[in-house]
Amino acid sequence: MYGYGIDIYYLILVVPAVIFSMWAQNRVTTTFRKYNQVRTYSGMTGYEAARRILSANGLYNVAVERVSGNLTDHYDPKANVIRLSDSVFGSNSVAAVGVAAHEAGHAVQYATHYAPIKLRTAIIPVTNIGSTLSIPIVLIGFFMGMQPLVNLGLLLFATVAVFQLVTLPVEFNASRRAVNALEMGGTMADDEMKAVKKVLSAAAMTYVAALAVSVANLLRLVLRFGGRSRD
């Protein structure tokens, strides 16, 4: 009973992971919103926090720019630019400072040749192929009764889970660098640092959730199509 009934694997594997992902996304949104209302005692903005961390690490060549959107913050290694969203760039909230410091942490990772981020960058092209072509290849192989083609699709999909797995140490390390830099800078009080850690912890859970969704989908595909033909 494979093809057209209720997908039990989706219900028991993917649905819980998706619910967890929704919870994690809601948590990061509500946590950021809460601490975005708490102003830093020093008046330091997200831009200033990123700039200070970059300067402390000798990264004067890394630019910090504003980008539209909410929580669209990221570091672009090709352009060597940290882009901070409207809600972070000029805001002097503890949430904005935490997010900006995290992105500065990514810039420091690249500058210090942090191995996991180099690995993640290296596998992005394969991951892009896997996320786009894996499911069609699995289905074509399944309906044509070509198990090697199915296995190829499963292998390609597995690269997505590997990418999410490699992302975890990258993101946790960037947050650790951010916290250490802010603490060493001496401009954040203890209660401000507690708030920063809560914001970064909530953000980290979204990456854990992304890994859970990827692994759940991979297991579902393996159980449904691995080693089986259409008949």
Catalytic residues: 103
Q: Roughly how many angstroms between the first and final C-alpha of the chain, as a whole number?
A: 9
Q: Looking at the chain, which runs of residues are DSSP E strands? A: 63-67, 74-76, 81-85
Give CA–CA dist 223/214, Å, rounded: 14
CB 222 within 8 A of CB 139: no
| Coil vs helix vs strand at 93 | strand
Of the candidates 33, 69, 67, the one whose C-alpha atom is nearest the C-alpha of residue 50 is: 67
Query: How far is C-alpha 225 from the geometric centre of its chain's CA atoms?
Result: 28
Q: CA–CA separation, 176 vs 179, rounded Å?
A: 5
Burial class (CB in 10 A: 0-12, 13-18, 19+), 135: middle
